[in-house]
Amino acid sequence: MTGNGAVHKRSFLALHDYGMGGSWWWVRARSEREVLETFAWVEVVTDPDTVARFEDEDEGLEEVDIDDPRMPPGLDGLRAKRDAQRGREGFGALADRDIVHLRRRWDEEDDEPVVYLMEVGSDGRRIRQVELAEDGTALRSGPGDWPFNPPIVDLFDPGLASQEISRTEFEEHWVRARQADTDL
């Protein structure tokens, strides 16, 4: 803390993981939480090996200051998305949880409607999942069943609070579901 009340900023390794790849930046901010509250769909990577790998790169990543009015392409849209969410009821309601249980309906045109019950970690990645089909079939799966596991939710999203279910409800479905057949 300095005499003017400013908090020292430091660099955080930020990742926007979109499944088959990701965008990376160094973000100068006061805290990890400030990064997460400022940019939607971004995680702060703290794994020492990963951080060291990016610190040692010759070319390095783009570094931005969280207070700059303009952000580089990609990060600018993630900040705009977060700005639109802030202030809405439910914003950040699930953000400080280690594990969250959600019920989400998947209703795509080409697929049969299905409900997913998901156990999600603090990074927005699935830990376990139960797929409930309209015909009553229930299939359970975990990370070993998925080819990749990017974040599927942003826990600051105000819309998630209404999708939360209890751990008990999730566990009841998990126990009754049969293991999904995967060819991984």
Q: Kindly list the domain boundaries of the chain, sorted by start residue.
A: 10-85, 99-179
Alpha-carbon dihedral sign for residues 137, 172, 151, 142: negative
CA-based radius of gyration for the chain = 19
Cβ-contact 51, 45 below 8 angstroms: yes
Distance of CA 57 to the CA centre of its chain: 26
Per-residue pLDDT of the chain (184 residues; tens, 9 = 90+): 444 446 799 999 999 998 778 999 999 999 999 999 999 999 999 999 989 888 877 567 889 999 999 999 999 999 999 999 999 999 999 999 999 999 998 866 667 789 999 999 999 999 999 999 988 899 999 999 998 888 999 999 999 999 999 999 999 999 999 998 866 4
